[in-house]
Structure 1
């Protein structure tokens, strides 16, 4: 029997096992409430790039509407805006989006002493500026302009600028600059080389509001396994407003199990200053069950940051324990040689639901590897591949030239 078919379940059986559901494009779950801002937005092209000079963020008459998420190219085509001879663009594009939203009544209540309201963009760009009620926002990392088309970024909203009805304004700019990461898109370099891929930029993933704790773990979790020692190293980023003593408590479960008791619990004390701090901790998992395409066993992780008063901020994700390496001309998984039966996948403008259907189809074909070709992908694709038993070979978007500036932009 072909090893890739032996334990492959039917599409219906696999979908029935999905218990890790998150409508947001990220790889972790939070117990907080959220409000998606996807849907119809007002939309305008800024062909002469005069919107900032003319203070569009303070008020502008938008002639068109557009659906977020979606690309500027789609929005131009839908609005039948002609830029040159077609709805493509040649050197630079600037677009503005705007919508209103009511002040949400999210769980924990607005003004809760432990909570703040956070605005998150799943991905947007290449350059993104954001205003709330005409006031410029700065990302958690301190950026007035977020640079990068494939990464998530967030804003903590000051209650003093919130209104009963709020106006959110977004300016997005992109260029054909060969020194910025573009992936396999149209550019002056690729045009000369005969590759005719179209541009794809703009509002490419969801936007949402959610309550988050003032002192919390951010939605970034790294996992590194040492299968010989049954050890797992977790990398976390703590976001702290109130410096003091904290405890990081980790609870690990089998992802699918009857017992509600964790198989491992461990605690790590920290003294944390205000700001962001990366933390690395190591946990032993006795008799670790290794992940493989034939047996995609997963563990569930609950990570809790606990302050001196016992208040708990929690995130949840899942992970597999595995080791992959090359030895000579062969690939080894968990110290066993593996034959890679892979497929090339170019998701392009596919939605998450479409990508999910494609992934199930690739697994049903008998693949154990999916190569995702030079595209920014929804982070949920990683946990989906974990559940299905698919290895991922993900190529991140790259610049079209090699210079010092392009290498910095590609960091």
Structure 2
């Protein structure tokens, strides 16, 4: 009898494992520890947009059907196999790990149902990000398209829904480096500082019930000099008489409440506000309501921070960055946000947060998010944990006439009309998407001349569009006397070889100390750093040597520094951590100590 019980139990375990194991990470490349924790039925279950949170939503992440076809044909059935959304098709965690050529397209399909309690509401279909061009069908009706690989977009799918089960299909085309679109470090032939392509859905897909009248966007703009914060809200189907109510909470306690007409803005006065610093990242939580005919038709939870980023000449004549009207040195790693198993997509929210926590642990106060835009939750983690963010525009098009050590003398890249239009559209969408996050303090339109064009015009446009942050026009070269920052790149040791007496001067990249750690490498060969060592002690010693040099350069004129980089990435082995995040390369206590010393020089 006991034997029978054991046998039945064993059968059930094997059956369950068989069902679960229909999805497995593909390939034998490096994996993070989070990869083993994935449940295909519960992928990235956290609410995707915490800066504007509603209570009701439905996650569409999980296993979808997929096919890869010629660009000019459609499959009779989408049934090449299953892909785990939202991991790019080239990634291990997608379960596919296949390349999609520019001559091909990637198709997705899945069924879903609408919760019965949403009856009578509008239904929005939201995509966190899809790289690069997405066409979307609901129940075999094409409902819309979107281009741009880094920003969220949505469709009101209500008119296309039927009774019972619904079907969604998505077609994605991505030319990678054969097109002029923003793509960051993605190339068809990865090598050196260029990495594996990312095609398709790479952020959460989700449904949200909406009232016909609802918030499209809310944004808080603090003014610490006046102890005020300005609230602007964009709504759908605005009518005269619609009202917005905002409740401001401090440590879960209501401290003020106000109402104003929808379509207007409101300045909220705060008594003795708590300022946001990386050391004390205080956030004011809010509840924002849209009221029509005395009824609350939409309600979102949000937050803001009282912080100011600016620049000012100090007593020595050096233009310094200031945080909340105090000289404040920015110091942090170049963070590219790549994962060996998920590529652009962190395996879990815990993993997404981990890199920020480690950055804080190492004593930094800033991250330069390099030629990539992250999911909304990453920026909220930065807001909550206390880290300044420099946000790059993902690079695209070509690099031409890169000049590092002098102000630019030459002809700028002339982009095609299509390329220029794509850049302007996607840069504005990135600004719109990220403007509400207080941790972001610097915009970086161009890096090392990649796609750099009409620098003065783009800088002025960016500054006019968001006057509350500093503009780093051209990180690392092709310098113009425009914007707020002169940004030098120098590997491996820090050097101050060019100085601007009228703008902030920063070291936008340096370091790159390589240390290939066995059993934690993406590839067995072609691993490189700007300099390479064979032990943690050697790497730590060299890092501290560079930091001691940096201390003197801070006194001489640098107001920020960016060390390359947070983790190894594919063939690059110059990370503070291994690519799988399982090993620190350096002695954390020693580098934390010297990092804090660098940061505190301006406070001495």
Closer, same or farther in 2 for the Cα pair 1:311/1:79, shift >3 Å?
closer
Q: Is the 8 A contact 1:398 1:410 kept in 2?
A: no
The SS at the match of 2:381 is helix
Matches within 5 A, 1:254-403: 254=250, 256-257=251-252, 259=253, 262-270=254-262, 280-327=265-312, 328-348=318-338, 349=343, 350-351=345-346, 352-401=349-398, 402=413, 403=415
The SS at the match of 2:51 is coil
Counterpart in the other structure of 1:168: 168
CA distance in 1, matches of 2:350, 2:287: 26
Closer, same or farther in 2 for the Cα pair 1:281/1:163, shift >3 Å?
same
1:216 aligns with 2:214: yes
Q: Which runs of 5+ in 2 are unaligned?
A: 1-43, 313-317, 399-412, 425-604
Counterpart in the other structure of 1:118: 124
Q: Deviations over 1:212-257 (max 9, x none)?
A: 1210112x332222111112122322112x7342011111111x24
Q: Which runs of 5+ in 1 are unaligned?
A: 1-20, 81-86, 138-143, 271-277
Counterpart in the other structure of 2:141: 135
Question: Of the two, which has the highest radius of gyration?
Answer: 2
Q: Is the 8 A contact 2:78 2:109 kept in 1?
A: no
Counterpart in the other structure of 1:83: none
Counterpart in the other structure of 2:153: 153
Q: Deviations over 1:366-402 (max 9, x none)?
A: 1110111111201112221111111111212132235
Q: Is the 8 A contact 2:289 2:296 kept in 1?
A: no
The alpha-carbon deviation at position 279 of structure 1 amounts to 5.0
Q: Which has the higher helix share?
A: 2
1:408 aligns with 2:409: no
The SS at the match of 2:383 is helix
* TM-score, normalised with respect to structure 2: 0.55
CA distance in 2, matches of 1:35, 1:217: 18
CA distance in 1, matches of 2:245, 2:297: 10
Counterpart in the other structure of 1:97: 108
CA distance in 2, matches of 1:170, 1:90: 17
Counterpart in the other structure of 2:181: 180
* TM-score, normalised with respect to structure 1: 0.79
The root-mean-square deviation of aligned C-alpha atoms, in Å, is 2.5
Q: Is the 8 A contact 1:24 1:206 kept in 2?
A: no
CA distance in 1, matches of 2:232, 2:45: 21
Closer, same or farther in 2 for the Cα pair 1:184/1:279, shift >3 Å?
farther
Closer, same or farther in 2 for the Cα pair 1:407/1:295, shift >3 Å?
same
Closer, same or farther in 2 for the Cα pair 1:91/1:158, shift >3 Å?
closer
Q: Which has the higher strand share?
A: 1
Question: How many equivalent residue pairs?
Answer: 352
CA distance in 2, matches of 1:370, 1:394: 9
Matches within 5 A, 1:15-164: 23-51=46-74, 56=75, 60-74=77-91, 78-79=95-96, 87-106=98-117, 109-111=118-120, 115-137=121-143, 144-159=144-159, 161-164=161-164
CA distance in 2, matches of 1:178, 1:48: 15
CA distance in 2, matches of 1:317, 1:61: 39
